[in-house]
Structure 1
Amino acid sequence: MPTTARVPSVPPPGDADDLRERARGALLGLAVGDALGAPAENMKPSEIRRRWGRITGYVAEHPAGTDDTEYAIFSGLLLARHGSALTVAHVETAWHQWIADLDEGPFRGAGFSERGTLENLRRGLAAPISAQHRHAWSDGLAMRAAPFGVFAAGRPREAARLVAIDGSVSHDGEGIYGGQAVAAGVAAAMAGARVDAVVAAALAAIPDDCWTSRSLRRAVAVADRGERAVRSAVVIGGYPWTDLAPEAVGLAFGAYAAARGDFAAAVLTAVNMGRDADTTAAVAGALSGATCGASAIPLDWSGAIGPARGSCLPSMRGHHVLDIAELLTPDSEEGEA
């Protein structure tokens, strides 16, 4: 169980306008980070430098969010519908109605954890058995965790509780912990917590002795030495898969801490470290976007984000992350449900 000995002090959330600005920043920041990082996914920093030098903006001709953004929209819609009453049955039903029982897009459900989950659901397996596949430790929950922090602004424990319910269909162990750390961190940032309090909230939501906690602590401890030190502290050298939740979450929080919450610096640090760059930049973007608000995101970056294309989840086509932000803020009827 998470420790209760060091629960951080998180300020109360601001007024509705402040929360809306931070909510827009968190979810737009996620989508921007996803789009910025997508071309560098699975690359080493040396490969990034050879191809682009240092990435300082979009390098794709038509930047767009990937499965990270579309699954975050999926979880945001589910949370807007059920709020704190969310159950595993609600999540499992949504996976069937919106994904498993429909034709998939060109990315066929996206990452390994999602594909393993879909295969199990289609075989008739239910949660938590549906999460028993080889990639239950992936960052697939962490990439869609930000909406829970937006919804539970100032309540990191509630954000962590809800994201674990969502994740029980697709993840287990470190995969759940990665999602809880991100959701709790975003919840603290939504209330205007300082960077160190955001990190503390994330750590308080997960067991002290788990791999995700150790990775996150190592990354933050060397953050002032820059991205090379952060990467060296957490990356599993020689391991072929880049979607490890402990690694991705450590890199994202390391980038956030290195930038002291600054949006552009946090996202670009994550992008230029490579590995699962779309996810690490999406998480760093959600954390720093919640910290700084939507106005801190460069206009040429935010302006490129349109409605989801449905390239991974056809049922999410046409939904915009800013619409999800509105649904999850307090003055929205859906967000209060």
Structure 2
Amino acid sequence: MSTPHAPSPAPVTPGDRPADPRDRARGSLLGLAVGDALGAPAENMKPSQIRRRWGRIEGFVADDPAGTDDTEYAIFSGLLLAEHGAALTVAHVEAAWHQWIADLDEGPFRGAGFSERGTLENLRRGLAAPISAQHRHAWSDGLAMRAAPFGVHAAGRPAEAARLVAVDGTVSHDGEGIYGGQAVAAGVAAAMVARTTDAVIAAALSVVPEDSWTARSLRRAVAAAQRSRLDPGITRLGTERAVRSAVVIGGYPWTDLAPEAVGLAFGAFAAAAGDFRGAVLTAVNMGRDADTTAAVAGALAGALGGFAAVPEDWARAIGPVRGRCLPSMAGYHVLDIADLLTADVPTTGTPA
């Protein structure tokens, strides 16, 4: 039997959130990694399958929790951004894909999504961007999953975050795949300085075409979440069902569509009013591409709440990545990337 909502988190006020951008950067990228590791066991599952196996997921269900390609590709993009900053070009991104992934002996490489596989096949055939993004999965959530570092870098500047993530995405994505990455990057950029979830959602919507599938999916998911939160008779399970039904295309076999995954992530973020634990667990328990939706929800909520928003026991479980997907990324920790991206940023300020 489902249980009623716990009391909604109190509205975010200026004093609730740390002003230190380094703290928020660490919260965002750690939140991404935590969400990824929490969601990985539930990836591609239906909510009913999750309930049959675990009841409701309330924490790590794997004995040795670890992130997936979501965390490793976010580190990859974060390193690239730390090196080039606002001067990042498509040529830089393409060269990095060759240097760190495509031109290496594949060895233990595994776990990448279809968009990454398609991109690598094209790069290895000698195709250059944007032609390298011409494959059947250019609308996947593979850019959205690695978009958070751009929001961290461009804190308070959603349009700049959206511009830079589109540069990164030109090698691997097109159309709605780019829009999904832009929505996430802009949302994180706003969350790095924001007081409210509404500001984060508005920033995400401001950088994608109003009539795009991504924008429509995001608006529907957030509206469903907000309606459910205002109705005390709707259970937590009922909220998850409402958000899921607002965006999921029933019967479609692929769960990694950017408009769907981004909608679910923002819906989870809105349903929890930005509370980290609530946002991530809502995303996980909705299934589908659960590692990516929880990673995005975690990046948003972690940026809004800062490092302390991530439960301590969950944070302790996150170590350096193991290179299961990208061997060249083995040994990097998301907190190292957060510190790199904010190395030149003053540590004091006032939330916007």
* TM-score (ref. length: structure 1): 0.93
Distance 1:309 1:246, change over 3 A: same
* Matches of 1:107 and 1:35, distance apart in 2: 18
1:105-146 residue CA offsets vs partner (Å, 9 max, x unmatched): 545361000000000000000000000000000000000000
Q: Distance in 1 between matches of 2:66 and 2:343?
A: 28
Counterpart in the other structure of 1:149:
151
Are residues 1:310 and 2:323 paired? Answer: yes
Report the Cα distance in structure 1 between the residues aligned to 2:86 and 2:311, rounded to whole angstroms. Answer: 33
Question: What is the match of residue 230 of structure 1?
Answer: 243
Match of 1:126 in 2: 128
Q: Say which of 78, 85, 97 aligns to 1:95.
A: 97
In the alignment, the residues of structure 1 paired with residue 199 and residue 146 of structure 2 have an alpha-carbon distance, to the nearest angstrom, of: 22
Alignment partner of 1:267: what SS? helix
Cα pair 1:152 1:158 within 8 Å, conserved: yes
- Identify the residue that residue 64 of structure 1 maps to in structure 2: 66
Counterpart of 1:275 in structure 2 is 288
Distance 2:106 2:323 in 1: 9
2:84 pairs with 1:82: yes
**Offset at 1:194?**
1.2
Aligned to 2:254: 241
Match of 1:212 in 2: 214
Q: Is the 8 A contact 2:139 2:258 kept in 1?
A: yes
Q: Which residue of 2 aligns with 1:158?
A: 160
Q: Which residue number corresponds to residue 205 of structure 2?
A: 203
Letter of the 1:280 counterpart: T
The one-letter code matched in structure 1 to 2:166 is: A
| Aligned twin of 2:271 | 258
Contact 1:31–1:65 (Cα < 8 Å) also in 2? yes
CA distance in 2, matches of 1:175, 1:228: 25
Counterpart position of 1:11? none
Match of 2:177 in 1: 175
Query: Is 1:116 equivalent to 2:118 in the alignment?
Result: yes
SS of the aligned residue for 2:20 comes to helix
Q: Which runs of 5+ in 1 are unaligned?
A: 1-14
Amino acid at match of 2:144: A
Once residues 250 and 74 of structure 2 are traced to their aligned partners in structure 1, the CA distance between those partners, rounded to angstroms, is 29
Which position in structure 2 is the counterpart of 1:18? Answer: 20
2:306 to 261, 271, 293: 293
Instruction: In structure 2, give the amino acid aligned to 1:297.
Output: V
Alpha-carbon distance in structure 2 between the residues aligned to 1:16 and 1:48: 35
C-alpha RMSD of the superposition: 1.6
Matched residue SS, 1:172: coil
Distance in 1 of aligned mates of 2:111 and 2:95 = 16
Q: Give the match's secondary structure for 1:284.
A: helix
Distance, in Å, in 1 between the alignment partners of 2:57 and 2:18 is 35
Structure 1 residue 97: deviation in Å? 0.1
Partners of 2:51 and 2:264 in 1: how far apart?
18
Q: Which residue of 2 is the match for residue 189 of structure 1? A: 191
User: What's the offset of the Cα at 1:192?
Assistant: 2.2
